[in-house]
Amino acid sequence: MDIEKKVWEVLLSEEEIQGRTKELGKQISEEYADKKLVVVSLLKGSFIFTADLVRRISIPVKVEFMTTSSYGHGQESSGKINIINDVKGDLTGYDVLVVDDITDSGLTMKHVMAHLGTKNPNSVKCCVLLDKPERRQVDIVPDYLGFTIPDKFVVGYGLNFGDYYRNVPYVFVVTDQDR
Ligand code: 5GP
């Protein structure tokens, strides 16, 4: 699909995303106030959401990154999740919050949460900006959620189209109509 010949429809504006991120940061700060919080950001898709979210968290927070296999240039999950870059060491005494851009089939989050659970943390929860519940293949409900969205391929605010458009500050949908 050649994106230049497609129509972009803004799904979530910069203001909507920032407003919701602020609320999530406040809620997380309150609920983890007496805990040792470590945010685990899933690369690459969640790097922008994580950067904004952690700046809205007002308690001490450790930030780690993990890389899992992604959709690459396609729009469908391969169904097989590989951990390419792991969090080093164990997580004894920490409460883990896995942050991702979007939960689609749920396979990535389910796999990552189970994996981090083997590192002996006190708890493992997740926070995702976007959720497409219609696409779910495994039983998982985000503990903290920005927005529920329809079953459409979305781009921007960290989400890629091929290797590009992660830097667009809002979330948009690419339609099949010609301009
Ligand atoms: P899941 O394992 O839940 O099927 O997929 C999670 C990952 O797939 C996300 O972190 C994201 O990288 C990718 N993904 C799922 N849906 C979309 C989408 O609509 N747009 C983009 N750009 N990536 C998506």
**Which pLDDT belongs to residue 74?**
53
Ligand 1 binding site (Cβ under 6 Å of any ligand atom) = 45, 70-71, 77, 100-108, 153-155, 159-160
Sheet of 37-43: strand order equals: 83-85, 61-68, 37-43, 95-103, 123-131, 144-148
Mean pLDDT across the stretch 101-126?
Answer: 97
Alpha carbon of residue 7 to chain centroid? 25
What CATH class is the domain 3-178? Answer: alpha beta
Query: What's the 179 CA to ligand 1 centre distance in angstroms?
Result: 26
Q: Does residue 72 have a pLDDT over 50?
A: no
Cα 160 to averaged position of ligand 1 atoms, centre (Å) = 9
The model's pTM is 0.93
ipTM of the complex: 0.97
Report the catalytic residues. 104
Distance 34 CA to ligand 1 centre (A): 32
Q: Would you list the domain boundaries of the chain?
A: 3-178
